[in-house]
Amino acid sequence: MIRTAEQYIESLRTLKTRVYMFGEKIDNWVDHPIIRPSINCVAATYELANDPMYEDLMTATSSLTGKKINRFTHLHQSTDDLIKKVKMQRLLGQKTASCFQRCVGMDAFNAVFSTTYEIDEACGTHYHENFRKFLTFIQDEDLVVDGAMTDPKGDRSKAPHAQADPDMFVHVVEQREDGIVVCGAKCHQTGSINSHWHIFMPTISMGEADKDWAVSFACPTDTEGLYMIYGRQSCDTRKLENAPIDLGNEKYGGQEALVVLDHVFIPNEYIFMNGEYQFAGMMVERFAGYHRQSYGGCKVGVGDVVIGATALAAEYNGADKASAVKDKLIEMTHLNETLYCCGIACSSQGAPTKAGNYQIDLLLANVCKQNVTRFPYEIVRLAEDIAGGLMVTMPAQKDFESDTVVGRNGETIGEICNKFFKTKENVPTEYRQRILRFLENMCLGAAAVGYRTESMHGAGSPQAQRIMIARQGNLEHKKELAKAIAGIPE
C-alpha cells in the first residue's frame, strides 16, 4: 500500500496524540497554523510517491514482502538503493525547501534491522523477528515512524546510571512477563508529532552498569503515557498573522519536539533491545552513519533552492551581471555540489551487513556530515551578502497593503512602501518582497532550524563526526604506507 497525501493527513486525525505548545494542550494540532506546514512537508513524501515521474526514486520493492512500497519504509538492498535514497532526499529538498521528516525513521529501520540480527546471533534473543514483523506492518500501511535517539543527557560527564535523575536517558523501570515499562524523554525529535509510530534507540555506547538504559523499542505515537511539547522556532508566530508573504515559505516547514515517556508500557513484540548493552554502540553508530549520509541529499536539495533564491534576489536588485555576484553564486554551487558528492560517495561504497541490508561507508558518511556542519553556513553567508540588508529590515506585508494616509499628497503607507522598495522596472515590488522574505526564512527564520542550525547539530555534533573519522581513518595503515615508501623497516 502507498498512501496518498490526503490519506496521510486524514490518518493523523484518527490519532489521540497529546501535543502541548505555549503551555497549553493543542487539540486540533493537525490544522494548527504553526504545525500544519510541517505536516504538508511529510505529505509531499506521499504525493511524489504517487507521481509516475518520480516512481523510480520514491518507491521500491520490499525485501520482506515483495510488494511495492514507499522508499521511506525500505531496507536498502544494494548500493543503488543507497544512491537513490540520496537522490530522493535531494528531490524533496528541492520541492519543499524544508525538512520532510521521514529520514530519521528510514535510517532507524536500517540500523535496527542489522543490529537486532547480530544481537540475536550473539545472545539467542528474538529481536530480529520482532522487528521484521513490525516493519512489515509499517510497509503494508505506509506509516510515518519517528526515529528517536537523542536523550536529554543531563550531566554530560556522567554515564546514564550515574545521573542524579535516571530519566535523563530513556530506561526500563519495570520488567514484566508481557513486556517492559519505560521512562525518560527524547529531545529535538524531528517530525515526532506528525508520525504514526516511534522507534526509540540508545543515544550512546554503554557499559554493564547501564543495562537498564540499553533499550530499543517501538510504540504508537498516541500510546498512553507518551506526550510531546512542541519546540519553538524563530519567527514562528508569524504563521498566526495571516500575512503569507512574511512567512517566506507559506506551505512547508519542519518541526521538532520534546517527546516524554511517563511510565509507558511496551509489549514484548515491540522490543528490539533490552539490556544488551554491548550492542548499544553498534546501533548508535549505524543509525548515525545512515543519518549523516542523509544530509548529503536533503540539505543539498534545500541548498539548490537557496542558491536559486539568491540568484533571483540579485536579478531583482539589478546586480546579477556583477562579476563579484557571479563568483559568489559559483562558490555556493561548488559547496553545495561537494556535499552531494559526499552523499553519493558514501552510498556507492556501501556494503551488505550480516542481516543482508546495505550499509554506507561509515568513514565517508561522517566526512559528508562534517562538511554539512560547515558549508551551509557559508552558503547562507553568501546568500545574505548578495540579498542585501533589506532581507532583515523590510516592513511587514500589512504595511505594503496599508491604506493609512501619511503623505502630503494623500499617499498611503502601502504606496510609500511600494514606491521606495521598487527596483527594476519589470519587477513588481511584491516579487522582491517574496524572495527576500524567503531568504530571511531560510537564513534566519523557522526554516533555518531545518537548514542552517540543523546542519550543525542534526545527526550529532561536529565533534561526534570527528570521533568517528578518527576511528575509521585507519591511521596505522597510513603509517605503514609511509614507512614502506620511506624505507623504514617494520
480 assigned to active site: no
Buried b (16+ CB within 10 A) or exposed e, 112-130: bbbbbbbbbeeeebebbeb
Domain count, the chain: 1
- pLDDT tens for residues 228-274? 999 999 999 999 999 999 999 999 999 999 999 999 999 999 999 99
Strands 145-148 and 197-200 come out as parallel
**Torsion 305-310-316-322 (CA) sign:** negative
Q: Give the Cα separation of 96 and 94 in Å (integer).
A: 6
The cell numbers describing 39, all together, are 505536516
> Annotated catalytic residue: which of 59, 116, 256, 285?
256
pLDDT at 449: 76
Residue 99 annotated among the catalytic residues of the structure: yes
User: Residue 285 is which amino acid?
Assistant: E
Q: What is the spatial distance between Cα 361 and Cα 367, in angstroms, rounded to a whole number?
A: 10
The reported pLDDT for the residue numbered 445 is 83
Q: Single out the catalytic residue among 41, 183, 219, 298.
A: 298
The radius of gyration of the chain from alpha carbons, rounded to an integer in Å, stands at 24
| Residue 264, domain member (yes or no) | no
In a domain, 245, yes or no: no
Point out the catalytic residue in the list 291, 342, 346, 368.
291
Q: Is 135 exposed, middle or buried (0-12, 13-18, 19+ CB in 10 A)?
A: buried
Domain hosting residue 446, numbered range: 285-481
User: Does the pLDDT of residue 167 top 80, yes or no?
Assistant: yes
Residue 415 annotated to the active site: no
Report yes or no on 474 lying in a domain. yes
Mean pLDDT (whole number) for 377-396: 97
Residue 386 pLDDT exceeds 90: yes
Cβ neighbourhood burial of 236 (10 Å; 0-12, 13-18, 19+): buried
Q: In this structure, is residue 136 part of a structural domain? A: no
Residues 202-213: tens digit of each pLDDT? 999 999 999 999
Query: Which residues, 6 or more positions from 374, have their beta carbon under 8 angstroms from its beta carbon?
Result: none
- What's the CATH code of the domain at 314? 1.20.140.10
417 is catalytic: no
* pLDDT of the residue at 432: 97
- Structure confidence at residue 218 (pLDDT): 98
Is residue 79 in a domain? Answer: no
List the catalytic residue out of 103, 183, 219, 417.
103
pLDDT for 448 beyond 80: no
Verify whether residue 443 is a known catalytic residue.
no
Mean pLDDT (whole number) for 131-152: 98
Residue 453: pLDDT band with limits 50, 70, 90: confident
Given the residues 8, 17, 41, 99, the one annotated as active site? 99
Q: pLDDT digit string (tens) for 107-127?
A: 999 999 999 999 999 999 999
In which residue are the cell numbers 561536529 written? 462
Distance (Å, whole) CA 368 – CA 294: 9
Condensed to tens digits (0 to 9), the pLDDT of residues 78-88 reads 999 999 999 99
What pLDDT, on a 0 to 100 scale, did the predictor assign at position 452? 86
420 part of a folded domain: yes
Active site (annotated) includes residue 103? yes
Is residue 341 in some structural domain? Answer: yes
The active-site residue, picked from 295, 340, 358, 451, is 295
Choice among 17, 73, 116, 190 that is catalytic = 190
Please write the tens of the pLDDT for every residue from 186-203. 999 999 999 999 999 999
183 is a catalytic site residue: no
Look at residue 428 and tell me if it is in a domain.
yes
What is the per-residue pLDDT across 304-317, written as a single tens digit (0 to 9) for each? 999 999 999 999 99
Indicate if the pLDDT at residue 463 is higher than 80.
yes
- Whether residue 68 has pLDDT greater than 80: yes
